[in-house]
Amino acid sequence: MKKSTKAILLVGGIFLLLVGLNFLLSTGSRQSQENESTGDRSSFAATPFGTLAYYTLLQETGHPVTRLVRPYTSLRDSSDIGTLILISLPPTSNPSAEEFDAVQKWVQAGGLLIIIDREIQVELPGNTQVHTTPAYISSPVRPVQPTTLAKGIRRLSVTNPSSYVTVSGSSSVVDIGDNLGAIVADTKVGRGRVIFITEPHIVANNGIDEDDNLTLALNVLDGRPAGKIAFDEYHHGYGAGGLFSGGLLGYFKGTPVPWILVQAILLSVLLIYSRGRRFARPLPLKTERRTTNLEFVSSMANIARIARASGLAMENIYSEFRRRLCHYTGLGREVDSPRLAKEVASRSRISERSLRDLMARCERIIRGERASDSEMLNLVTRIRDIESNLKLWGPAK
């Protein structure tokens, strides 16, 4: 039982140690590796570079926001999405040609596509070319002309290095920028519209509350078509049916929590294995006794009678009786019989003389004097009576 308790405490200690190391090392290292260029821009991410604050703001202000966890080809069958927001998709998860064709047709049918990224290179219907060029912005970023997107904006907060966006096409409009280029522009595509923003910092958790960034984040949704506002999470790794497709596990993606759960499962399996396995020699099977205690005593008594070994029988009974008396009085086993009888008599109602005579007779029989069967029975009976009166049935020490 003690070994089992120690094993449980050891496993529990290892588990707590792993949890602590995960929180100290994994979380800290992840945040230290992220920057404006490599940060996770998912609406699930609560890190400085994520966009959870933007998503939550729209949700709490009554906007019908949702997360798209399927490829863009699913837009063909989805009539409830009117606005699609793409924020700095990872380079390893760029949409396929089939997906991009599907999203273009969706925009032409009247959808609103908002692309927020420092690197944009797309070709839209009507020979409209869109591309970005690296830039280091040193002058204030202000509205270029009074458009819907620029309403209420005096200055935006951006980071460096940044980029400018260039949109070719008769319907393209430059909304916000500086003296050298634009960071916000939009264009018409069929019955729909596409908005380009080259600064993810504007909608990030660590930048949405700076200057007029929040105003722009809300302006892009003014005049939007009917339907839900969908944040593309499929290309951030939250594919439908995957482990991190949303909900609680999706919220914890990128944190040590999933690894902690895996380690907890492994430790649980280890604990079950250790508790269900015997780490010692096998115990022998219990065998049933074929004789009763009475049969054993009868057999021994018969052997002693036939062998005329009454002294040996008396020695076995008397030695145990004397040890119990020594334990009862607190005297050592080497004490002489007269003193032992005197001490027992002083502590009980047993006659000192009677006890002394009984002990003396037993000792003489042990030394070899003859005793009849009736005398042996009488002596043993007196010994058992004394043991019963003094309650000497417990084990002698």
Report if residue 24 sits inside a domain: no
Report if residue 1 sits inside a domain: no
Region 23-27: mean pLDDT is 56
pLDDT recorded at residue 22: 64
Between 9 and 292, the higher pLDDT residue: 9
pLDDT recorded at residue 1: 44
Q: Report if pTM > 0.85.
A: no
Structural domain including 120 reads 41-253
pLDDT recorded at residue 396: 47
Confidence of residue 19 (pLDDT cuts 50, 70, 90): low
CATH number of the domain residue 66 falls in: 3.40.50.880
pLDDT recorded at residue 237: 83
Report if residue 27 sits inside a domain: no
What string of DSSP letters covers 29-98?
HHHHH--TTT----TT--STTS-HHHHHHHHHTT--EEEE-S-GGGGGT--SEEEEEEE---GGGPPPHH
Mean pLDDT score of the chain, rounded to an integer? 83
The conformation of residue 119, written as its DSSP 8-state character, comes to -
47-90 pLDDT, tens digit each: 899 999 999 999 999 999 999 989 999 887 767 899 999 999 98
Report if residue 352 sits inside a domain: yes
Is the domain of 218 the same as that of 367?
no
Instruction: Report CA-CA distances (Å) from 41 to 117, 200, 245, 295.
Output: 10, 8, 16, 88
Is the domain of 180 the same as that of 59?
yes
